[in-house]
Structure 1
């Protein structure tokens, strides 16, 4: 599929644009469904378990994802139109209100609204400049277009989990991750996903291997909030041990993941930041493979 969008304001061009916005929206929602439906994720909600959560379940997440439909298309269009940073921010705030209405005020996808929102807007920027939709180009657009605004013009609520963890432990969160162009995804998570999927031809294995790499490497503020620095280090160590033992290439890899999952649930740990980044990784994978491979 070609990503070259002509600038002439014809009906055909408008239809082409709208089709791409819709496709970006579908990819974002599909990535969130893929992350949600990955079974046995340590401490996280999946179809068969609430993980370490008492206030949300699989149905809560389905309602949340449903409420997001159309948002990522809008953000991609905003990026294409070079809309002001405040427009993107306000749309995200409005979308979070819609999400909380759908989930009875449970925060299921605030991270996705932020992470995938700016990724979608950056895709619009790439299309406007006729750049190929590679993860590198998309992330460069985020840095070049919004790094300053994200760093200086985004309200950081003092009572938020992220800000409390930054003040107490110096652990940075989603704002820094996005403003720096998802470095851990570019350098670690997406290469892992590609490599594992190429070697196994198994989406589940690729997703789980990538999640465990993210848990092993990310200073996940959700883990720190629930358990503190010691529990973060323990979680990272368990993920590293799983990977060092062979990861999903072990014959008993599901049992090995289950052991980690049981520990996380026992300690009330949930690597929500890693789950958010897994969804972004899957999104980038979908975008790259749809738009950069000849039909």
Structure 2
């Protein structure tokens, strides 16, 4: 009985730490500016139904979720339990925001990452990038794929079906390639080159925007909107990114364009938060 209790206490402590890192990652993403088309404490971006306060309420409502799903992951809980936690978290988010979807993507992606981190930490295993992806796919991948066949409709899912874009579920089932092959390396490289957290975050965000098939952009602007943001982000990077002297003005210019065109790369924002999470998890 003592061993079991000790194990439960240890899992709870590990889960609480993972939950704090996930919550911190969402705060880091929210605080960043400039972010083309996205909500920040400075302005509402391309959104007229939400602001930074809406996001803060959402993050506060989700704090217990990330710790809970990390603890469930530590126990190797079945997909059905993780799914119930995610559904409950989404209801709490919507209640806190008055029905506005602020973090559905983060509930899904960060939730599975937290669960995988919990599983690995509980077994004394390092939560390396490829290991996290492998853990998610090995433990829950088949059920995620099956659940996707009966998933309720959403803007992202509609865009995926209509245009063949790879949505959040497809990214997960592919091993999160944009996160682990683009976002996390861009963040770490920028930090290694001496960038502070703000500069590294912008560099990471633009790297994601240049590559991700962001269904939020497709929903708002169709394939043309996606192509516009991808091309603009790549030009920003080709010109030196945040290491160029005029980087801030160029980022602000794209922000203004996205606001005017009603474009918001919400999927890229979720991926940026996930990049900070996996970075902090291994720091």
Deviates more, 1:149-158 or 1:183-192: 149-158
Q: CA separation in 2, counterparts of 1:279 and 1:8?
A: 38
The answer to whether the aligner puts 1:181 opposite 2:199 as a matched pair is no
Q: CA separation in 1, counterparts of 2:73 and 2:111?
A: 10
Contact 1:36 1:61 in 2 (8 A): yes
Alignment of 1:5-154 (within 5 A): 9=3, 11-154=5-148
Q: CA separation in 2, counterparts of 1:10 and 1:165?
A: 47
Aligned pair count reads 283
Gap regions ≥5 residues in structure 2: none
Q: 2:213 aligns with which of 206, 215, 219?
A: 219
- Give deviations 1:224-249, integer Å, cap 9, x for gaps: 00001011111100000000000000
**1:219 Cα deviation after fit:** 0.8
**1:82 Cα deviation after fit:** 1.6
Alignment of 1:161-180 (within 5 A): 161-180=155-174
Deviates more, 1:75-84 or 1:10-19: 10-19
Q: CA separation in 1, counterparts of 2:162 and 2:133?
A: 29
**1:8 Cα deviation after fit:** 7.2
Contact 2:78 2:140 in 1 (8 A): no
Pick closer, same or farther for the CA change 1:61–1:9 going to 2, 3 Å: same
Contact 2:14 2:121 in 1 (8 A): no
What secondary structure sits across from 1:32 in the alignment?
A: helix
Pick closer, same or farther for the CA change 1:185–1:8 going to 2, 3 Å: farther
Q: 1:210 aligns with which of 178, 187, 204?
A: 204
**1:156 Cα deviation after fit:** 4.4
Q: 1:241 aligns with which of 235, 240, 256?
A: 235
Pick closer, same or farther for the CA change 1:155–1:63 going to 2, 3 Å: farther
What secondary structure sits across from 1:153 in the alignment?
A: helix
Pick closer, same or farther for the CA change 1:63–1:195 going to 2, 3 Å: same
**1:167 Cα deviation after fit:** 2.3
Q: CA separation in 1, counterparts of 2:9 and 2:256?
A: 49
TM-score (norm 1): 0.92
TM-score (norm 2): 0.96
What secondary structure sits across from 2:63 in the alignment?
A: coil
Aligned-residue Cα RMSD (Å) equals 1.6
Structure having the higher helix fraction is 2
